[in-house]
Structure 1
């Protein structure tokens, strides 16, 4: 049976996951706790005030954070923090980590990319930036915005590619093979594009907004929140999910799914709910294992370690912990 090691936090958990071999928990007050099994916990608070976003670096060696102080920090599991970039008086609530130490961040209508050597590039848009993502290979940056998304070559001067679809586009991600771009919309839907020809893909029917998505280990499925089950869209064919029925895993009649985290090696997904419960479901037969009973609030963030033996989680009520799977 799974066992849980609880971690006490003071408030809303913005992000939970693993850096190197240490679990981390970043809360809205600006505190980051690294839970190291062999050396106990390390707490660091690099931001002067609140923490707005946190992303794991491309090499899994640090946590990149942003806050309402306009600062972006790279924080390691030993508690050391280095200032990556600063935009005084800017509200930096969107960040993305790319290859070779690149970091993208945005405020208002402007996105920036900072490279490991300290160089920066600025990308301006007509409407506010809603989401950022780097392609799995190369220095291509996707910027979600109103009425679509823009693809920039971050390290060169090539012309951007404009992908259009009416409405407000927020969080965004590339498929692991780089063939598709998917955005979560302000309405209860996802939208996607096949990048080879900009073919649109519409994924709708959600009763709530999609706030969490996760690609399966081999990129065959995109798991999403926003319904009474985890909705997994198939991306194995030439047309992505179009004309195919999604998997529905972990269905409950009394609670919406708030988070999804696909296992890094197996065809299973961790699913969190409004009431704080966490389940683990297998793709091929929908077999379920309860990992956590309901708690005080919705689980908003989950993250596996790299071998899939531990799952870190955090709730909107400040509950957090590490779930250890046992054979």
Structure 2
């Protein structure tokens, strides 16, 4: 494997394994870290975070679940699926409490506001905001094309959506976007920096667009051999990790400069990187590839610190809220949690 020294890379220690039977479409920890929620074509699994024991199987969506999002207090889990609905679940009891009609044949994205007062759903061109009791708060004007992603800023005052042609920034309750960030390309991935200053989006056209939301400055990060599927910010908004091939490109940011002239390139994966996740508090970055490999990196080192292995392509990564475990899911339904012992 090019670029990786086995002597400097420790094997990650698995905490537990679970099999949910099919391609893992979403994995997310409850805010307190006691429950791991995982989705595939079948029921949604609620698993004990420490042991992997099954707590509840939620009936999910008839043709599969596409996205999951927890309420900030961990009471409810929202799921979006291929039956055209978003469903809200009481996590402690394992029961459905509300069904939200998406407005299209499937709901691809769901995002609970950090304030806990609204749930955003994206179905085709339709963006809706809901109260936690399941009543509709606002149906935002249809987008010009299919919505490819949703993200709230960290204080819950703004919602961003992406589609072909740019990023839209919304204030809850307003029919028109507060701002629009134009891009003549198809945006397929997005990440809002934790400090709220930057918005990054990977494109179908093999580039990353980054906007400084304070100054409206825009920069295109190019040089990728293929579309940029995943982007992720570190906890201090200092580093942007991007995956557009087998190599991981790491861009450094500062308050006075949008990005360095060239990224640090981290080599290790033999197939395309499909998942990236920075720790919520610490400095570590996890990457997952179609080669089934999971690597842990420090932004200041070119060699990975740790390595884990699945038999199938990685599909999802999620850090525990206290950074003590990393959860990974793959294309054949295998879930693994890894101890953070590097």
TM-score (norm 2): 0.86
Aligned 8 A contact 1:46 1:81 in 2: no
Shift of 1:175: 1.2
Match of 2:202 among 174, 181, 184: 184
Equivalent position of 2:20 in the other structure: 9
Equivalent position of 1:297 in the other structure: 312
Equivalent position of 1:313 in the other structure: 328
Equivalent position of 1:94 in the other structure: 109
Match of 1:37 among 45, 50, 62: 50
Distance of 1:87 and 1:263 partners within structure 2: 32
Distance of 1:285 and 1:304 partners within structure 2: 20
Aligned 8 A contact 1:32 1:45 in 2: no
Aligned pairs (5 A) from 1:257-268? 257-268=273-284
Deviations 1:277-310, CA, capped at 9 Å, x for gaps: 11111122234233312x3321111111111111
Shift of 1:28: 2.8
Shift of 1:66: 0.5
Closer, same or farther in 2 for the Cα pair 1:116/1:75, shift >3 Å?
Answer: closer
**CA RMSD after TM alignment:** 2.4
Deviations 1:119-159, CA, capped at 9 Å, x for gaps: 42111223332222112224312121221122121134676
Aligned 8 A contact 1:132 1:171 in 2: no
Aligned 8 A contact 1:230 1:260 in 2: no
Distance of 1:9 and 1:253 partners within structure 2: 25
Secondary structure of 1:218 counterpart: coil
Aligned 8 A contact 2:241 2:276 in 1: yes
Match of 2:148 among 126, 130, 145: 130
Shift of 1:104: 1.0
Deviations 1:252-280, CA, capped at 9 Å, x for gaps: 26323221111222222111122111111
Secondary structure of 1:167 counterpart: coil
Closer, same or farther in 2 for the Cα pair 1:263/1:159, shift >3 Å?
Answer: closer
Aligned pairs (5 A) from 1:41-120? 41-42=54-55, 43-78=57-92, 79-83=94-98, 85-87=100-102, 90-101=105-116, 102-116=118-132, 118-120=135-137
Equivalent position of 2:3 in the other structure: none
Closer, same or farther in 2 for the Cα pair 1:88/1:193, shift >3 Å?
Answer: closer
Secondary structure of 1:11 counterpart: coil
**Residue correspondences, number:** 324
Distance of 2:125 and 2:66 partners within structure 1: 17
Shift of 1:54: 1.8
Is 1:247 aligned to residue 264 of structure 2?
yes
Distance of 2:98 and 2:129 partners within structure 1: 14
Larger strand proportion of the pair: 1
Distance of 2:294 and 2:317 partners within structure 1: 10
Is 1:26 aligned to residue 43 of structure 2?
no
Q: Which runs of 5+ in 1 are unaligned?
A: none
Shift of 1:89: 5.5
Shift of 1:246: 2.0
Distance of 1:106 and 1:274 partners within structure 2: 27
